[in-house]
Structure 1
């Protein structure tokens, strides 16, 4: 029963990833593209966590933690570049 729910959730998250990719490619402004990239990172993180639950391996949870950290740093750097035009002052 739990495996069926995980597969349905994975399918829905894959659909959300495709929709986010569409927003990333066709976003009218740079802010929309940055938000789509951040949402893409969060959805891929959820997909990796579901895969870790399905397989029962703790290695996937560590990878998800690294991707979450990388996504936060990337979003922060892009927003800072968009506001000031320079990342490192």
Structure 2
């Protein structure tokens, strides 16, 4: 420490900034590589499925609609039978 404030080794600071920058670029490159690898693996998995995900989703939607309609009708029937018995 000098009498005018903190004495910073600017050369060491510059080296630290450069190393941090290189590490950030390498980290970003690694993240991109991981993302591409996982994306390709997911595509391969979907490609080898017997039933495509879109068909599975459509099937689930049809089942949900049928269950909803059945529950609605059952509730309406229960309401009518309770209303008629009073």
Report if TM-score (shorter chain) is over 0.5: no
- TM-score with structure 1 setting the length: 0.32
> With CA pairs under 8 Å and 6+ residues apart, which has the higher RCO, 1 or 2?
1
- TM-score with structure 2 setting the length: 0.33
Larger radius of gyration: 2
